[in-house]
Structure 1
Amino acid sequence: MRSRSSKRAGRLAGLSLALLLASALLLSACSDSGAQDKQDQAVAPKTEAGNAAAVKEPEGFAFTDTMAPMGHSSGVWYELFVRSFNDSNGDGVGDLNGVTNKLDYLQELGIKGIWLMPINPSPSYHGYDVTDQYAVNPDYGTLDDLKRLLDEAHKRGIKVIMDLVVNHTSSKHPWFLDSAKGKDSKHRDWYTWAEDKEISLSSLGPSGQPVLHASGKSHYLGMFSQDMPDLNFDNPEVRQEMVKVGQFWLKFGMDGLRLDAAKHIYEDFQSSVDDPQTSVKNKAWWQEFRQGMDAVNKDAYLIGEIWDSMSVVGPFLDHALNSGFNFDLSKILLDSAKNERANEVGSTLNRMFTYFSKQSAGAFVDAPFLSNHDGNRVMSEVGSDPNHARMAAAMLLTMPGNPFLYYGEEVGMEGMKPDERLREPMIWAADRKSDGQTTWEAASSNGNTVSVAEQLKDPNSMFNFYKKLISWRYEEPALGDGGIAPFEIANEGVLAYGRVSGDTTLLVVHNLTATKQAVDLNANGEVPFTKVRFQSVDEGIALQGGQLELPPYSTVILQ
């Protein structure tokens, strides 16, 4: 990885095609007029894959990094746990009608898409061990309730995707109960039985965990737990059934699917982690699944949980998934906010997007996030410091692609592992009882969290800070669709990066620190940015002649 001191400042590039053309021109020009021409052209992308346009910049300033094409952003998304979100009937458990009741709240925040955590029947509170892929958990309501939710969301311009658990089922699923009866059962080969496949009982999972569990005299594969037996995707009947499941929900009205444990379809054992065939088979399956979904809705949004390195994620984007959650970026942003130090996000994403774009022929859309149901909540991760939480949000919501928020993040909810503490009831009212507050679990981590009702009335609340940042993305499409490029700043606590789309060039600058910062934007050549387009604070920001003053914990977008 290149260090901050070794990078050239203020660099930006265009799409792959434009870069090849620009390189040819530079090689020709160097023989006649030397290196000066390198600062005369900047290449900037349009959001459509495979198109590019050249953008003239004032002398002394040039972005020259490769910036890969990416698909269109569909807006800011919101992950919600139905059980904890809102209770419409007073039984203490969140439900689908409760979500419908809060669509206006989500619309006011600026949400364009909802990800529903598992809503299928399940014996567990979290729902990731499904017993019927074609039904709705009765705790949450009925198929009619779900249809109403979809209809009302669509009226408001909000898309809805649901968690689809493909890798495994519940051990109480009728398929598994039949499979466990013996070798002659109809669904025997729908699961992996060690004795049938001659798998050593000493075999361990990818993380060294036990993955073979006893059932009578046989042992079955359950990578996550004995309650979640893995389906056998080498069996074409299983693959056909799971395609059928996905098609069912798209026909029902879902706008897409969040695909749980996407990389574990074939990555089950330690021996499979580094086996090249694992990636090949995973990719082939998800391409098959994509084709099945395209038969119903070619615009269906498929996003996968692929908690791994860039090189592992890339193949899933090849005519298969639209997005993979950007786990690496989450850590980068949270660490910067906590430590009040700039990061290399511009160059890191630049490199990552180049690879993803090549894998997907420019069609992928990045999916940045700060926290989700499996990780510590943002406010807790930054030590309960609201300034650090705001700066993390400001970085997230100026990233390319489809940012995902986790319910309650916008009001500063807290929660640290174990998982139950990450999934506590949404805090709607100050009394912790009214306005659909759920009570299935104590909100023990959120005794000091200011309620939604109170924050809606406070213009300086965390909610209204998130609402402001989200509104920027819709006022300026380059924040969603544009590429990203590094911009060097000498100040350790100041982070900057370019955002470019077509003829629009923006510079995002964050003061991550508790002290006022004076920033020389012209340190590496005169910059063209003369206008403050957006600012996160009302006072203390000044821009003149390339000299920028930033108050503590503030963000500015220049044009």
Structure 2
Amino acid sequence: MTDHGNRKPDWWKGAVIYQIYPRSYLDTTGSGTGDLRGITRKLDYIADLGVDAIWISPFVASPMLDFGYDVSDYLAVDPLFGTLDDFRQLLDAAHQRGLKVLMDQVLSHTSDQHAWFLESRQDRDNPKADWYVWADPTQTGGPPNNWLSVFGGPSWQWEPRRGQYYLHNFLRQQPDLNYHCEQVQQAVLDTCRFWLDLGVDGFRLDVCAFYFHDRELRDNPPNPVQPEGAHFMFNPYSMQAHKYDIGRPENLEFLERLRALCDTYDDRILLGELNQEDGEELHKSYTAGHRLHIAYGYWLLGSEEVSAALFRDTARELGYGDGDGWPCWALDNHDFTRSLTRLGLERNPEAGPILTAAMTLLRGASCLYQGAELSLPEAQLPYDRIRDPYGREFFPAYKGRDGARTPMPWNRDTPHAGFSEAEPWLPVVEPHQISAVDVQQVTLGSPLNRVRTFLKWRREQPELLQGSMSFLDLPEPLLGIRRSGEGRSIICILNLSNDEVVHECTEDFCGTPITGHGFTAIHRNGMLEIPAFGAWFGATE
């Protein structure tokens, strides 16, 4: 087991977790695809960002139809990314730099090439016959209910060898495990134990509200509130209220078992991905007691406009108080359009650092997706370069997730921005190439340098890590947050607009100025002057 260094059991409460999409981080083999050694090679860069942990998207064995989220062997590293020994070296190197390592665990479903499913599909009497969700057809030969796949069409696929349908919430090649089967639960726990023994610091749990399904296979009712925003309206999946296929109460019991396993190790955590249907109840129940340590949803990830109300109202809607569990915040990840594009700020890369600040000033942990520190916009790709099956299914109404998954740009003046010596699996677009790391590192006031400065400063402020939170009554576009600890509060006033804002502000309200965070604002003659995408930080007793 690797050395975890200085153990802090509650390190996760205010942590910044840097998400790495390994296919697109750094290629060290000339395959055109990133790998584990590429992550290890860039750990100094990551540690210098001022983050506390890394979350690595799936790197275990997979046919890669959904790019690692279709697992064919939970205990093997896919050769595309390297070897198990490469991962051990990554763990050791990360821990030496004080970085925790979270591993993406896709536990709701497997690939149809997984040995468990290959056995289960053969007939109805084999030892793994009940390891997946099987159902007889209706009298007219159709699927057993109206459940839909996230990736389009019914979530049932016919299997002639058994004369039954199997459930798949995503691709038909991603059959759902049957968590009502105790053997499945034990096999999943054994999988997690293997990686915990190896030294991982916890898991990001993919779609962890999807583990259980309704035993009676009842139809989902119509969604009484149709989702807003073009991002969600291309897919009829949103027209159902997912009452019976996800979010079942049995999920909580299994998460308690998984948490109990993690608690037998030191300072390991569970980060859950949760949908936002019945969001307040779902998130608070999943992070209550001995379940998930932290969880994130889609409010910020799916938003298409930025405002102080976005951050303030989202936090209030979730309703996390000092006595509740801990949320996790995310503006970007591998499943959503990059925030600068989604929020209409492509021409304002200087907005990136203030958005990162706003997210990480909220009570809870935060996930910072690779490239967000560079203020990268969404990559615009033609249909013939799209690899994402989700995008290919719904193009052009929805162009998929590849625009957020293109390679990390390291060097402006080298082919493929220094990501690979070969043609990458996805192209490096010009707006990314000119925003490469090597350019931003030597540019005063670049998004990268501002994010670094802020995150390192934040990490030294205990009030911002685990303090209580309240909001200040300020007009748009000012976001006002008070974070309080023992005997001290930090007043945070952020300007989320492209114009300077002047606001009356008494010294008692604004506090004594704090420096070192990388943002600018001036308090004089009772007025607070905050430049575009700037911020004020003051201390009060």
- TM-score band w.r.t. shorter chain: 0.7 to 0.9
CA distances 1:502-539 after superposition (whole Å, capped 9, x unpaired): 212011111222332221124xx95361323455445x
Q: 1:354 to 1:392 in 2, by over 3 A?
A: closer
Q: Secondary structure, in 3 states, of the residue corresponding to 2:283?
A: helix
Picking from 146, 149, 155, the partner of 1:211 is 155
1:120 and 1:400 map into 2 onto residues whose CA distance is 33
Amino acid at match of 2:443: D
* 1:168 is the counterpart of 2:109: yes
1:277 and 1:423 map into 2 onto residues whose CA distance is 27
Amino acid at match of 2:315: L
CA distances 1:142-194 after superposition (whole Å, capped 9, x unpaired): 11100000000000000001111100000111111111110122211001111
Residue 284 of structure 1 is matched in structure 2 by 253
Q: 1:227 to 1:204 in 2, by over 3 A?
A: same
Residue 157 of structure 1 is matched in structure 2 by 98
Cα offset, 1:255, TM superposition: 0.3
Residue 406 of structure 2 is matched in structure 1 by 424
Q: Secondary structure, in 3 states, of the residue corresponding to 1:499?
A: strand
Corresponding residue pairs, total = 476
* 1:480 is the counterpart of 2:465: yes
Question: Is the contact made by 1:90 and 1:436 (CA closer than 8 Å) also made in structure 2?
Answer: no
Picking from 401, 411, 415, the partner of 2:364 is 401
Question: Is the contact made by 1:346 and 1:484 (CA closer than 8 Å) also made in structure 2?
Answer: no
Picking from 447, 453, 459, the partner of 1:468 is 453
Residue 522 of structure 2 is matched in structure 1 by 542
Residue 174 of structure 2 is matched in structure 1 by 228
Residue 479 of structure 2 is matched in structure 1 by 495
Q: Secondary structure, in 3 states, of the residue corresponding to 1:186?
A: coil
1:514 and 1:351 map into 2 onto residues whose CA distance is 27
CA distances 1:58-97 after superposition (whole Å, capped 9, x unpaired): xxxxxxxxxxxx9863531111111110112222221111
2:247 and 2:432 map into 1 onto residues whose CA distance is 46
Residue 443 of structure 2 is matched in structure 1 by 458
Residue 13 of structure 1 is matched in structure 2 by none
Residue 111 of structure 1 is matched in structure 2 by 51
Q: Secondary structure, in 3 states, of the residue corresponding to 2:484?
A: strand
Q: Secondary structure, in 3 states, of the residue corresponding to 1:78?
A: strand
Between 87-96 and 105-114, report the one with greater CA deviation.
87-96
Runs of at least 5 residues in structure 1 that lack an aligned partner in the other structure: 1-47, 50-69
Residue 225 of structure 2 is matched in structure 1 by none
Question: Is the contact made by 1:371 and 1:405 (CA closer than 8 Å) also made in structure 2?
Answer: yes
* 1:300 is the counterpart of 2:268: yes
Q: 1:108 to 1:72 in 2, by over 3 A?
A: closer
Alignment of 1:364-375 (within 5 A): 364-375=325-336
Cα offset, 1:347, TM superposition: 6.0
Alignment of 1:303-382 (within 5 A): 303-308=271-276, 309-318=279-288, 319-331=290-302, 335-336=305-306, 341-343=307-309, 345-346=311-312, 348-350=314-316, 352-354=318-320, 362=324, 364-382=325-343
Amino acid at match of 2:261: G
Between 529-538 and 425-434, report the one with greater CA deviation.
529-538
Question: Is the contact made by 1:79 and 1:404 (CA closer than 8 Å) also made in structure 2?
Answer: yes
Q: Secondary structure, in 3 states, of the residue corresponding to 1:188?
A: coil
Question: Is the contact made by 2:301 and 2:339 (CA closer than 8 Å) also made in structure 1?
Answer: no
Q: Secondary structure, in 3 states, of the residue corresponding to 1:189?
A: coil
Question: Is the contact made by 2:301 and 2:332 (CA closer than 8 Å) also made in structure 1?
Answer: yes
Cα offset, 1:445, TM superposition: 7.0
CA distances 1:4-63 after superposition (whole Å, capped 9, x unpaired): xxxxxxxxxxxxxxxxxxxxxxxxxxxxxxxxxxxxxxxxxxxx99xxxxxxxxxxxxxx
Question: Is the contact made by 1:243 and 1:293 (CA closer than 8 Å) also made in structure 2?
Answer: no
Question: Is the contact made by 1:534 and 1:557 (CA closer than 8 Å) also made in structure 2?
Answer: no
Cα offset, 1:276, TM superposition: 12
Q: 1:211 to 1:101 in 2, by over 3 A?
A: same
* 1:555 is the counterpart of 2:535: yes
Q: Secondary structure, in 3 states, of the residue corresponding to 1:373?
A: coil
Between 132-141 and 426-435, report the one with greater CA deviation.
426-435
2:354 and 2:401 map into 1 onto residues whose CA distance is 25
Q: 1:388 to 1:278 in 2, by over 3 A?
A: closer
Cα offset, 1:112, TM superposition: 1.4
Q: Which TM-score applies when normalising by structure 2? A: 0.81
1:196 and 1:254 map into 2 onto residues whose CA distance is 42
Q: 1:475 to 1:447 in 2, by over 3 A?
A: closer
CA distances 1:407-454 after superposition (whole Å, capped 9, x unpaired): 111112232641222211111111234644372221247455411111
Question: Is the contact made by 1:342 and 1:493 (CA closer than 8 Å) also made in structure 2?
Answer: yes
Question: Is the contact made by 2:211 and 2:246 (CA closer than 8 Å) also made in structure 1?
Answer: no
Higher relative contact order (CA 8 A, sep 6+): 1
Question: Is the contact made by 1:535 and 1:555 (CA closer than 8 Å) also made in structure 2?
Answer: no
Task: Give the alignment's Cα RMSD to 1 decimal.
Answer: 2.8
2:434 and 2:341 map into 1 onto residues whose CA distance is 11
Q: Secondary structure, in 3 states, of the residue corresponding to 1:366?
A: strand
2:166 and 2:246 map into 1 onto residues whose CA distance is 22
1:533 and 1:381 map into 2 onto residues whose CA distance is 31
1:240 and 1:230 map into 2 onto residues whose CA distance is 16
Cα offset, 1:138, TM superposition: 0.7
Runs of at least 5 residues in structure 2 that lack an aligned partner in the other structure: 1-7, 221-240, 380-398
Cα offset, 1:317, TM superposition: 1.3
Work out which of the two has the higher radius of gyration on C-alpha atoms and give 1 or 2: 1
Question: Is the contact made by 2:61 and 2:72 (CA closer than 8 Å) also made in structure 1?
Answer: yes
Between 270-279 and 85-94, report the one with greater CA deviation.
270-279
Amino acid at match of 2:318: M
Amino acid at match of 1:239: Q
Cα offset, 1:218, TM superposition: 2.3
* 1:142 is the counterpart of 2:92: no
Alignment of 1:229-268 (within 5 A): 229-267=175-213
Residue 191 of structure 1 is matched in structure 2 by 132
Q: 1:277 to 1:86 in 2, by over 3 A?
A: closer
Amino acid at match of 2:409: I
Amino acid at match of 1:189: D
Amino acid at match of 2:257: E
Q: Secondary structure, in 3 states, of the residue corresponding to 2:481?
A: strand
Cα offset, 1:461, TM superposition: 1.1
Q: Secondary structure, in 3 states, of the residue corresponding to 1:285?
A: helix
Q: Secondary structure, in 3 states, of the residue corresponding to 1:135?
A: strand
Amino acid at match of 1:349: A
1:451 and 1:215 map into 2 onto residues whose CA distance is 48
Between 394-403 and 461-470, report the one with greater CA deviation.
394-403
Between 283-292 and 229-238, report the one with greater CA deviation.
283-292
Amino acid at match of 2:491: L
Question: Is the contact made by 1:421 and 1:445 (CA closer than 8 Å) also made in structure 2?
Answer: no
Alignment of 1:438-457 (within 5 A): 439-444=424-429, 446=431, 449-457=434-442
2:302 and 2:263 map into 1 onto residues whose CA distance is 33
Between 279-288 and 429-438, report the one with greater CA deviation.
429-438
Picking from 59, 72, 77, the partner of 1:131 is 72
1:253 and 1:72 map into 2 onto residues whose CA distance is 17
Question: Is the contact made by 1:203 and 1:211 (CA closer than 8 Å) also made in structure 2?
Answer: no
CA distances 1:274-322 after superposition (whole Å, capped 9, x unpaired): 3699532111111122122223x15211011111212112221131110
1:197 and 1:278 map into 2 onto residues whose CA distance is 25
2:337 and 2:494 map into 1 onto residues whose CA distance is 24
1:347 and 1:530 map into 2 onto residues whose CA distance is 27
2:273 and 2:432 map into 1 onto residues whose CA distance is 31
Q: 1:432 to 1:285 in 2, by over 3 A?
A: same
2:110 and 2:329 map into 1 onto residues whose CA distance is 28
Residue 99 of structure 1 is matched in structure 2 by 39
